[in-house]
Structure 1
């Protein structure tokens, strides 16, 4: 099987679906994402089915949804990493290695424990936070800074300040060639060039544009805040029916972001994306220098988006489009026609099947057959489901997307929001009252799926478990450098 393709997955963290210039955003420059989009297929309706860092990464590495991984938020019990593998099967990198692929991964993996193996033969970490001196010393990027650029090793926050500065416009404390994105790009290029006769499966996981929005010079001043669009706001009472939005706003000191600050944050966020786009250009150049460039599958995606003030919210963990819908590009010049826009529903869970199918040993698990969709041999999924929060708890919520309709169901109060995304792409006018029959139909789809998956905790008898509506108590998160003994202010 000498003609098996190389497979390269490139993931960003917290990048919205609407941040690629050639796909409809005139406010930022992404020449290399544009180049990648022109190289293959664009899935316009791709989702993170649990739009927060840890569960999203486990869906793609396990090929399984939260109903099987058991991860519905960033809380991961001790032993869960091994238990998920036992329950769902070997992780993707391990599976690809079993097919004879040379496997390597660079960047943010967000496992518990932080250095848990996920099957890569070479795995180089660059996690966001360091909980101990041993973790900082063991983090490949932080160790590189300490060894190669000790003049910067005094920094507590290599990627920008967090806590009360989480949603403040910032400048990277490092020059562009020393950032974690530049480091990951160089590491990846070195690894993809290490030919040993085997095809390779590579994974590059960038930390940006996750906040803090701290692009390096000159990307910090690439965009004028006065030319940035304002957030899209619905009725506050509707937007905050999902109590996770005001709770998360307060958690990261973003409960009172004014319009100017919102525009300035978007300008820095776009600066981060343009900087990562430049790094992606170096990665694409390295692929295209190879003689097997046309037999290399490249998939670009994000783990989830960022509300960026839309719907009176910041961060993720929401089923509004800005947080749960993601960019999703697939190219394979030897097989996929360039510039093909696809409307089928796709999600991160499909990535397991994409890689294994490209390797000639399809294993879809809970995903759909994206290569089959592209060549007309597989049917699209009828509906897509998303989940967040522990089933059976007040924080449980779910999404159903079918056709142009999307339902957001909330255990807190038993509220439902129904949107027609064709008529109302900004999700400003919920329709559950006028179109109650369709809201009931999508609720029944959700009920059936949870029953099929054996999620008994989500039910009270025959009905989905709901709770009297409550506003959630507010709290703060403090994210300092514990590896240096810093646990709070003072």
Structure 2
């Protein structure tokens, strides 16, 4: 007798903003296949990466635990094999224990590279290199070029994303007695911004919006933003001008449209199955991208452009189609979505998203976020999102911001001084949350720890050292 439980397919992009989906209000971007998921299921418009940077976000997905639980608050290339002792079995192993065949295709971003994440099949850049002889990281220039528009050096049918999709389509299409749990994890639109032809000329920069900017004091109160601008060669002072920013956005959108085409092939493979309607698909990203908003680039900030993410849940046999919800959800909740669908709910630090859709569970009232840049001790940022408010605490200098997202969705000006009671309530909530998590490094006697302000310098991103003399590269 075949297993009647649903297949579960997670489809993930890297560094995709929540506003980069056509069917959710962006008329300038072409995403017909992601739009299919919007039409097929439930779209959450208040979804967050609770630590908006690569490694912590991915550890949250695979453990169902927040960064203060995993201990990974920044991009630290530490051995993660201990995480299962700390948080419980990884999601793939948990699903395998529940009788699912499991596979990962694409980026996993965990150390060491041979870490056992619990998948029956894992096909990533190592297999691509072995089969094709190509290195993923050499398809575009990095270092000083990382935020400048480029073209993928490999033809669109031969690049890593095409190879990934071929493998994922095969795994989705296999006919087995047990249901599958799969994660297909694309790297675009993570920089370098290098779409393949013809996606590199798909968007006219003159038709795209310029970045959103508030006053400089608000935009750069988080000292990581100017430090990252320097690190990623987007300059500490003047920044990338608006004309160039629109060109970069055109290439960023091109990468998303290219991945969208790959996603279309995945959806076709699902729809070719007899149990297509009993296949739960989640589409999400690990974090967003400032893309020039607030005079910044990259991620790790708690501005909406950086921390709010796409979050689509589709399951035609069980969930409504074309519904939009403004519940507060997070990457932490994906663990519970998968295990609940498998018939054995385990939420860990998340909430029951499927239950909230069905009306059987309450959505979260408050959502917390945390980030710390490694090797920069004073640099800890905490965030609380509740109702119309977003509170941000920066340990370095003990600075605070409050945004009224109902009145100021673009976060053009912070309003902490005008709302001291709200600030006090959310500050206390963050301190209590950190205390309960045992994060003693950030709290003391029930209050948030503050540190004297220090300017931080992350240096420059250099993939290959520059020579002492130009002619040395010719030797």
Give me the TM-score of the superposition, normalised by structure 2.
0.95
Note if contact 1:51-1:316 (Cα within 8 Å) is conserved in structure 2: yes
In angstroms, what is the RMSD of aligned CA positions? 1.5
Offset at 1:390? 6.6
Q: Provide closer, same or farther for how the CA distance between residues 110 and 228 of structure 1 changes in structure 2, counting only shifts above 3 A.
A: same
Offset at 1:227? 1.1
Greater Cα offset, 12-21 or 243-252:
243-252
1:324 and 2:307 equivalent? yes
Q: Find 2:242's aligned residue among 259, 263, 267.
A: 259
Matches within 5 A, 1:132-281: 139-146=126-133, 153=134, 157-255=137-235, 256-281=239-264
- State the secondary structure of the residue aligned to 1:178: coil
Greater Cα offset, 155-164 or 53-62:
155-164
Note if contact 1:387-1:396 (Cα within 8 Å) is conserved in structure 2: yes
Q: Provide closer, same or farther for how the CA distance between residues 283 and 48 of structure 1 changes in structure 2, counting only shifts above 3 A.
A: same
C-alpha distance in structure 1 between counterparts of 2:197 and 2:306, whole Å:
27
How far does the alpha carbon of each residue in 1:446-485 deviate from its partner, in whole angstroms, 9 at most, with x for none? 011011111111123442111122221240122259xxxx
C-alpha distance in structure 2 between counterparts of 1:12 and 1:377, whole Å:
30
Note if contact 1:307-1:313 (Cα within 8 Å) is conserved in structure 2: yes
1:395 and 2:364 equivalent? no
Offset at 1:156? 8.1
Note if contact 1:393-1:411 (Cα within 8 Å) is conserved in structure 2: no
Offset at 1:83? 1.5
Q: Find 2:431's aligned residue among 447, 468, 481.
A: 447
C-alpha distance in structure 2 between counterparts of 1:182 and 1:436, whole Å:
52
C-alpha distance in structure 2 between counterparts of 1:106 and 1:448, whole Å:
39
The aligned counterpart of 1:414 is 398
C-alpha distance in structure 2 between counterparts of 1:21 and 1:390, whole Å:
33
C-alpha distance in structure 1 between counterparts of 2:115 and 2:136, whole Å:
24
The aligned counterpart of 2:469 is none
Q: Where in structure 2 are there 5+ consecutive unaligned residues? A: 466-471
C-alpha distance in structure 1 between counterparts of 2:261 and 2:41, whole Å:
19
- State the secondary structure of the residue aligned to 2:3: coil
C-alpha distance in structure 1 between counterparts of 2:201 and 2:183, whole Å:
30
Note if contact 1:159-1:212 (Cα within 8 Å) is conserved in structure 2: no
How far does the alpha carbon of each residue in 1:407-458 deviate from its partner, in whole angstroms, 9 at most, with x for none? 1110011111101111111001211000111011111110110111111111
Q: Where in structure 1 are there 5+ consecutive unaligned residues? A: 127-138, 147-152, 482-488
Note if contact 2:162-2:262 (Cα within 8 Å) is conserved in structure 1: yes
C-alpha distance in structure 2 between counterparts of 1:111 and 1:469, whole Å:
32
Question: Paired residues, what number?
Answer: 462
Note if contact 2:143-2:462 (Cα within 8 Å) is conserved in structure 1: yes
Greater Cα offset, 318-327 or 111-120:
111-120
Give me the TM-score of the superposition, normalised by structure 1.
0.92
